[in-house]
Amino acid sequence: MLKYILKRLTIMGVTLWIIITLTFVLMVSVPGSPFNDQDRNTNDIVQENLERHYNLDKPYIIQYFLYLKSIITFDFGPSIKQSNHTVNDLLSRGFPISFELGMVSIVIAVISGVILGIFAALKHNGIIDYAAMTIAVLGISIPNFVLATLLIQKFAVDSNMLPTARWESVAHMILPIIALATGPMAIIARLTRSTMLEVLTQDYIKMARAKGLSPWKIIVKHALKNALMPVVTIMGTLLAGILTGTFVIEKIFAIPGMGRYFIESINHRDYPVIMGTTVFYSAFLICMLFLVDIAYGLLDPRIKIHKHDGDRP
Amino acid sequence: MNILEVNHLHVSFSTYGGTVEAVRGINLQLEKGETLAIVGESGCGKSVTANAIMRLIPQPPGRITDGSILFKGQNLVDQSERTMRHIRGRDISMIFQDPMTALNPTLTIGTQLMEGLKQHKAVSKEEARQKALDMLRLVGIPNPKERLTQYPHQFSGGMRQRVVIAMALICEPEILIADEPTTALDVTIQAQIIELFERIQRETGVAIILITHDLGVVAKVADRIAVMYAGQIIEKGTKRDIFYHAEHPYTLGLLKSVPRLDIKEARLTPIDGTPPDLFSPPKGCSFAPRCPYAMEVCHEVPPIQTELEQNHHVYCWLQDKRGKALMAQTATKK
């Protein structure tokens, strides 16, 4: 187990390095600089001084190593555009909000998706099944930004039940979370339904019935764990989807999360912020994927994380 | 004393193509502590009968349309699902054909063994564990203590079938229904499992209904045999009756199709033709279309039970005196 984790951590490190390098290459290959806005008519000397201050006058290779250093020390320096804030400030201010939005959404998506899927499978070809699957198809086919605007129109503008935007109370959280969670929920519901249907025909379910277990026990203890395997598998993809989804949703609901800094930093060529947010998000996603893999091994004993020869008699 | 009596049982399945009567009026008796073998070719309704006794027929499409299943005088056909849950596993247990799929891959053997016991009996964790260990020892699994915490994939096929048997016997049921317990195993393992059945019966006195198409297995363990064809029992009797004094042409055909070591014969004799389509079963005897000795009456009137000797019954007009009288009748009608 420990060996596996160490191996994975190494691979994660390499992945992260590749992402950092790619981001750097992309960043410097995009034309423009943080200091040539039309509105700020700086003269050449000022421009040169600024570039020197942010090390932008150095050769790319030096800049690259300076970035690597900043990542290793986890100090991305000040933002170029908002020079009174460091990148770490922006991260610590924006990330908790994005994290809250994303995590609550994924938790709600998983729970409601799995429940919907189970009921659809149990009432196979019944009204509940068709209703659940109709919701699921709608959820998959409507993009979250369309859903978000529809929700705002319906619940905030028309009926005035919920606030249109911002991130202040639980009421503020409802619409963005619904908008963000519906897509993944629909995917999970469909997947749970199909795997559940398959699992329910397995012999061990019949065996469990022959033992006299109650239907509830059979589903929770025998069927669910097996049916959740594919759901865990797609969790990684869904997490990535939620992550990028938060940017869009944050923009629509004017939520002060990471999304705003991320997009603005790219528009402004605010190099330290671009690097900081990208690296931070990549690291976060890589860690989540790692956790998903660990969870997979815990759920299914057949997936051996550690090498163990001669187990079979 | 019979602990199980199946009377006139009918089971049908509704499909898109129509209704299939998979079991058509069978009668069975099972005595305490004996082994009853139900033999027949694939699709003759053996497994459906077994599942019907456990009331595990998927419903819909399946349905017990008629008849009764008396377990100690209690008609299982009328019981609620809740009552059946108390009977399943505790009074009547069942094991399935394929041990590779009968165990849940994500739960330890111990958990799966003990859950049945915990369901039916008020036992402490330690008692349950002890009982599980005893059962593993009974079915001949070495190192039961270590094995208890292992997962199914760490067991071989034969070992898994032993675990399944232990699982079925843990509540000390009175009846064990074994649906083709050796079919998925290779021959040497088959022999071991069959011996295990014999030993378990000696030690626990459980009555076994053994469903198989393997006459070799039957010859080894069965006390009594019922031969099924197209959803009906066509002959039943003791092992001796069936193997040495079989009277039904189908039974004789089955016996002829088994390879023998003591007789030098180049070819086996197959039974010509195929079983009837159960969407529209024949009017008379269901075997008549394939029967080399079929008489006119066989195609017209379904045969009734004829007692040849005590406990040796056959459903065949050839063996019944009334057949001739009926033949005359049908002839005059024409």
Output A102 or B99, whichever has higher pLDDT.
A102
Question: What DSSP designation does B317 have?
Answer: G
d(CA A227, CA A117): 10
Tell me which residue in A203, A213, A311 faces B115 most closely, judged by beta carbons.
A213
Q: Do A206 and B98 touch (CB under 8 A)?
A: no
Question: How many Cβ contacts (< 8 angstroms) between chains A and B?
Answer: 85
Closest to A87 (Cα-Cα) out of A102, A75, A99: A75
pLDDT at position A193: 92
Q: What are the b/e assignments for A115-125, b being 16+ CB within 10 Å?
A: ebbbbbbbeee
Please state the rounded mean pLDDT for residues B170-191: 85
For testing the chain B interface, which of A123, A125, A202, A207 should be mutated: the one with the most B CBs within 10 Å?
A207
Judge whether B234 and B287 are in contact, CB under 8 Å: yes
Q: How much of chain B exceeds pLDDT 70, in percent?
A: 96
Distances (CA, A) of A310 to A3, A302, B108, B193: 19, 14, 18, 24
The half-sphere exposure of B318 on its side-chain side, counting CA atoms within 13 A, is 16
Q: How much of chain B exceeds pLDDT 90, in percent?
A: 6
Structural domains present in chain A: 96-269 (1.10.3720.10)
pLDDT at position A42: 65
pLDDT at position A186: 92
CATH architecture of B2-91+173-333: 3-Layer(aba) Sandwich (3.40)
Is B162 an interface residue toward A (CB < 8 Å)?
A: no
Chain B residues with beta carbon closer than 8 angstroms to that of A302: 105, 151, 153
Res B31 pLDDT > 60: yes
Q: With the C-alpha atoms ordered B321, B322, B323, B324, is the resulting torsion angle positive or negative? A: positive
Q: Which residues contact A243 (CB under 8 A, 6 or more apart)?
A: A102, A281, A284, A285
CA A51, distance to chain mean position in Å, is: 35
* Nearest-Cα residue of chain B relative to residue A298: B106
Is B16 an interface residue toward A (CB < 8 Å)?
A: no
Chain A residues with beta carbon closer than 8 angstroms to that of B86: 212
pLDDT band at B209 (very low <50, low <70, confident <90, very high): very high
pLDDT band at B332 (very low <50, low <70, confident <90, very high): low
Closest to B189 (Cα-Cα) out of B200, B199, B181: B181
d(CA A44, CA A67): 25
**In which residue ranges of chain A is pLDDT below 70?**
36-42, 304-313
pLDDT at position A312: 41
d(CA B178, CA A80): 77
d(CA A231, CA A191): 7
d(CA B67, CA B233): 14
pLDDT at position A11: 92
pLDDT at position A18: 93
Is A100 an interface residue toward B (CB < 8 Å)?
A: no
Q: Which residues contact B68 (CB under 8 A, 6 or more apart)?
A: B5, B6, B7, B8, B9, B75, B77
Question: What DSSP designation does B223 have?
Answer: S
Chain A residues with beta carbon closer than 8 angstroms to that of B115: 211, 213, 217, 221
pLDDT band at B331 (very low <50, low <70, confident <90, very high): low
pLDDT at position B266: 67
Is A309 an interface residue toward B (CB < 8 Å)?
A: no
**Token code pair at residue B311:** 């406990």
Whether the complex's predicted ipTM surpasses the cut of 0.90: no
Segment among A117-121, A219-223, B127-131, B293-297 with least mean pLDDT: B293-297
Q: Do B116 and A214 touch (CB under 8 A)?
A: no
